[in-house]
A = this chain, B = another copy of it.
Amino acid sequence: MTPPKPYHHGNLREALLQSAIRLIREVGPTAFTLREVARRAGVSHNAPYRHFRNKEDLIAAVAAEGYQELTGAMVTAAAGQPDVLDRLKNAGLAYVRFAVRKPEHFTVMFDAPASGHRHPDAAQAAKQAFSTLVGLVKVCQEEGRLVSGDPGRYALLAWSMVHGVAKLAITGRLPYRTTAGVLKFAAFVIDQSLPRR
């Protein structure tokens, strides 16, 4: 069964998203251009406006996809670890790994001010990523491996740490040039605020 080819292009919305992600990866989020995305998708410079309200809206869609991918990466990394603290730590490492491997994606997701009301789906995906973190913290507290208290506060602490490492790494402020080097440093940072074992 050949997939249905409903309209002129096929599935332009998805094609535009993919083109956008690749373009952002090549030229960065700043030099990124709506017209070039259209060119790569093989459509006219105004076709994207049938699927996205404007440039910002397309970028928000890219960010939303990134949040989902990030959530998946953290969940996968945490899964299968018997020690709950290891789950939390591995999720943090997955956060940094995602940032290092997809720096432009990460930049699009977190550099712009959070504009929840303008892009509800992106905000929803972001919230889910954070909830994942909060959940891991909660489990640690329930098992008595982490001081009790507002789990949200501890999740924000964890988030701040890995976010700082990730951001400094992808902007070239850390002296580690390989993913492994960055992750080793990230582990060092995470261990600092986790209870000694």
Contact = CB atoms under 8 A, between A and B. Distances in A.
Contact of A189 (B160, B175, B188): B160
A163 B170 CA distance: 13
Interface residues on A, range: 20 to 34
A159 interface: yes
A188 B157 contact: yes
Interface in A126-146: none
Interface of A is mostly: helix
A193 interface: yes
A155 to B, nearest CB: 11
Interface string A149-163: 000110011011111
A110 interface: yes
Interface string A39-80: 000000000000000000000000000000000000000000
A124 to B, nearest CB: 15
6 contacts: A113-B171, A114-B173, A156-B185, A159-B168, A160-B164, A164-B165
Interface of A: 30, 107, 110-114, 152-153, 156-157, 159-165, 167-168, 170-175, 185, 188-189, 192-193
